[in-house]
Amino acid sequence: MTRFEQRKQDFFKVLERLKDGIKQEESEIMIDGILHRFEFTFELAWKTIKDYLEYLGYIDKIGSPREIIQNGYKQGIIKDGEKWIDMMLARNTLAHIYDESTSREIYNKIKEEFILLFDNLKLQFENINI
């Protein structure tokens, strides 16, 4: 199994766990867990895009998440580059600052916007077998 295939399967698994979390009754502990799962899901998403771009020969083995998102958009792997950049910035905010109102805003974006971006990426990758 290629690195892309393994990472893709890992991404699919964490995405399902994130979606399961979103379905649960809201509580502070659940919201914290969803924010944490979102960070894992985002990390696997951009790294899966990176692995696929490497396989296609579009990029080298290095690159920041921003560069990977930009290249993924250029290659049609992701459809809304600006929303992906917004998602990346939200993930960075969670990793460096803890502010309850900001984390609540990000939580709402996860439920309303970011989950759809992840689902669209999953659809892109479901029929790709390397």
The pLDDT value given to residue 130: 75
Tokens of 94: 């969670």
Total-model pTM:
0.93
One-letter amino acid at 7 equals R
Q: Which domains are assigned to the chain? A: 3-126 (1.20.120.330)
Residue pointed to by tokens 């600006």: 82
How much of the chain, in percent, has pLDDT values that exceed 90?
A: 82
- Who has greater pLDDT, 2 or 18? 18
57-78: average pLDDT: 90
* Residue partners of 49: CB distance under 8 A and separation at least 6: 68, 69, 71, 72, 77, 78, 121
Tokens of 2: 């290629």
One-letter amino acid at 2 equals T
Q: For the chain, give percent helix, strand, coil, nearest 5.
A: 80, 0, 20
Residue pointed to by tokens 């990426």: 121
